[in-house]
């Protein structure tokens, strides 16, 4: 069985990381995956996939909204390699998949909804377009119950073909030597800087409020807002406190050298970076929004704050820096939660089962 995965790129981001984790750990010999990137470059993740003999098609679109070129190129790929199923992630791939599904009506097309919110849902003009696009998918997967609820509340007709599959990551179960590594960062944030959703500006402002207690913090990720965020950091006099390191292939090394993980998201479909931090035995502070409360039980395996509440965020950062035993307790519980609920093995087993079930019908 051959599956074609379609996504914009393989930069750091929740959807990208989940797909990478699945592709690199899938050992089901009955399922062969190829991946098509609409506009992504040859990142370290692409190199990792190629090392595992996963075929990568990079369309190299100058704009991911180049519909005519994208449709033609993907059409040629599907015809040549004769796929059994097409799995699409993110926008505008959602629309490309719908157009292609009309052309290849003998193939099942699947779409994964990775977010609880997008701007199109606030624009009435898009509703009939979105309705048209979703109806061409055999199955819709959502990465959290909140993601599904937000989608179905907005478009109730989708309820019968929507399923929840939580994301997963590889988790070490043996003794971790890195636990004794020197903690050079007080705080770490991992996330895309392509938009305001991760609340990196809130992270910076909170650090300013407790800067006397912070030696060093780090932001791992890249995107169009990076220069603007660096400018905010500098305007607050935090040049020597907050380090921006861009996209990295050694994200875990930054988590392992940090005392806690912070993600003050404005909206979040799931929060795979949170699970990565939990798997690295870090106490987590994150926002009570989207799918995050499905990962973190407040006070048990992490601490939740309300959206945009910089004061509460800074207070909880100070609290965990001062109360090391409490931080350790949260970290231990976080690791157990990640291991039992959010391992990549659980995700892979479920998604492969769906692939086989759906393809049987075609």
Q: What is the pLDDT of residues 230-285, one digit of tens each?
A: 999 999 999 999 999 999 989 999 999 999 999 999 999 999 999 999 999 999 99
pLDDT digits (tens, 9 = 90+) for 329-340: 999 999 999 998
Task: Kindly report the number of other CB atoms within 10 A of residue 233's CB atom.
Answer: 25
Q: Is cis: bond before 247, omega within 30 of 0?
A: no
Q: What is the mean predicted confidence (pLDDT) over 222-235?
A: 97
Instruction: Provide the residue count of the chain.
Output: 362
pLDDT of 43 above 80: no
SS3 86: strand
Average pLDDT score over residue span 208-225: 97
pLDDT at 73: 96
What digits encode the pLDDT tens for the residues 3-40?
A: 999 999 888 778 998 999 999 999 999 999 999 999 87
Range ranked top by mean pLDDT from 108-112, 115-119, 171-175? 108-112
Domains defined along the chain, listed by start:
2-169+343-360 (3.40.50.2000), 177-341 (3.40.50.2000)
Residues 6+ apart with CB under 8 A from 255: 188, 190, 261, 276, 277, 280, 282
- The pLDDT score that the predictor gives to residue 182 is 84
- Residue 174's pLDDT is 54
One-character DSSP codes across 106-173:
TS-EEEEE--S--GGGG-TTHHHHHHHHHTT-SEEEESSHHHHHHHHHH-GGGGGGEEE----B----
CB 43 within 8 A of CB 10: yes
On the question of pLDDT at 179 being above 80, the answer is no
Encoded tokens for 213 = 């207690």
Does the pLDDT of residue 178 top 70, yes or no?
no
Q: What is the pLDDT of residues 127-176, one digit of tens each?
A: 999 999 999 999 999 999 999 999 999 999 999 999 999 999 998 775 45
> pLDDT band at 181, cuts 50/70/90?
low
Distance (Å) of CA 72 to CA 76, 79, 88, 250, 343: 6, 11, 16, 36, 37
């Amino acid at each position: 069985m051959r599956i074609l995965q379609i996504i914009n790129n393989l930069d750091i981001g929740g959807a990208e990381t989940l797909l990478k984790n699945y592709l690199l750990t899938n050992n089901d010999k009955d399922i062969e995956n190829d991946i098509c990137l609409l506009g992504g470059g040859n990142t370290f993740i692409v190199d990792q996939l190629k090392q595992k003999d996963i075929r990568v098609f990079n369309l190299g679109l100058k704009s991911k909204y180049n519909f005519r070129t994208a449709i033609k190129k993907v059409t040629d790929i599907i015809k040549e390699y004769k796929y059994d199923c097409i799995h699409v992630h993110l926008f505008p791939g959602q629309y490309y998949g719908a157009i292609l599904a009309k052309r290849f009506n003998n193939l099942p097309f699947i779409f994964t909804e990775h977010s609880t919110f997008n701007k199109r849902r606030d624009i009435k003009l898009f509703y009939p377009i979105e309705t048209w696009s979703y109806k061409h998918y055999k199955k819709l997967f959502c990465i959290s119950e909140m993601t599904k609820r937000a989608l179905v509340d907005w478009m109730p007709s989708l309820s019968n073909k929507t399923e929840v599959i939580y994301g997963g990551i590889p988790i070490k179960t043996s003794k971790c030597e890195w636990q004794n590594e020197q903690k050079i960062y007080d705080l770490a944030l991992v996330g895309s800087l392509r938009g305001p959703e991760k609340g990196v500006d809130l992270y910076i402002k909170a650090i300013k409020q407790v800067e006397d207690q912070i030696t060093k913090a780090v932001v791992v990720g890249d995107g169009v807002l990076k220069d603007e965020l660096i400018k905010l950091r500098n305007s607050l006099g935090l040049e020597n406190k907050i380090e921006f390191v861009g996209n990295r292939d050694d994200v875990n090394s930054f988590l392992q050298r940090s005392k806690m993980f912070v993600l003050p998201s404005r909206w979040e479909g799931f929060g795979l970076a949170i699970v990565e931090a939990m798997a690295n035995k870090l106490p987590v502070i994150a926002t009570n929004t989207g799918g995050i409360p499905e990962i973190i039980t407040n006070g048990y395996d992490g601490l939740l704050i309300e959206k945009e509440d910089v004061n509460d965020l800074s207070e909880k950062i100070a609290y965990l820096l001062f109360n090391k035993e409490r931080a350790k307790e949260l970290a231990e519980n976080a690791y157990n939660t990640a291991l039992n609920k959010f391992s990549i093995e659980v995700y892979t087993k479920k998604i492969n089962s769906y692939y086989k079930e759906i393809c049987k019908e075609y």
